[in-house]
């Protein structure tokens, strides 16, 4: 039984490694934190920055920088990866 679980774990890790390698090929500058955020956003479209911050266990300012890197326009006039879009909540403009 332990061997079977080990094989399943190895298979999962191989899949994760392939996905990470593909992301790195397409976007060589992508960091693990960006990849983690992208996965969380893909799993929960419409997630707020605050919710994402909790799931990633990072500060809201770090979350904002990560999302900016994944968006069309990164900070400091650098282009982002253009993988996600951050939209202001029309009711609460401080929330994205």
Percentage helix, strand, coil, to 5, in the chain? 60, 0, 40
Tens digit of each residue's pLDDT (9 = 90 or more) over 25-67: 988 888 889 999 999 999 999 999 999 999 999 999 999 999 9
At 59, list the tokens. 């500060």
- pTM (two decimals): 0.77
Contact 81, 68 (CB under 8 A): no
Tens digit of each residue's pLDDT (9 = 90 or more) over 79-94: 888 889 888 878 877 7
At 62, list the tokens. 């770090």
C-alpha atoms less than 13 angstroms from C-alpha of 88 in its C-beta half-sphere: 5
Contact 48, 67 (CB under 8 A): no
């Amino acid at each position: 039984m332990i061997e079977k679980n080990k094989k399943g774990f190895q298979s999962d890790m191989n899949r994760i490694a392939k996905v990470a390698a593909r992301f790195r090929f397409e976007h060589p500058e992508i960091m693990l934190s960006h990849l983690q955020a992208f996965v969380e956003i893909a799993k929960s479209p419409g997630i707020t920055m605050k919710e994402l911050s909790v799931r990633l266990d990072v500060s809201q300012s770090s979350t904002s920088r990560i999302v900016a890197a994944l968006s069309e326009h990164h900070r400091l006039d650098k282009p982002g990866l253009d993988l996600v879009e951050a939209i202001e909540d029309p009711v609460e403009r401080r929330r994205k």
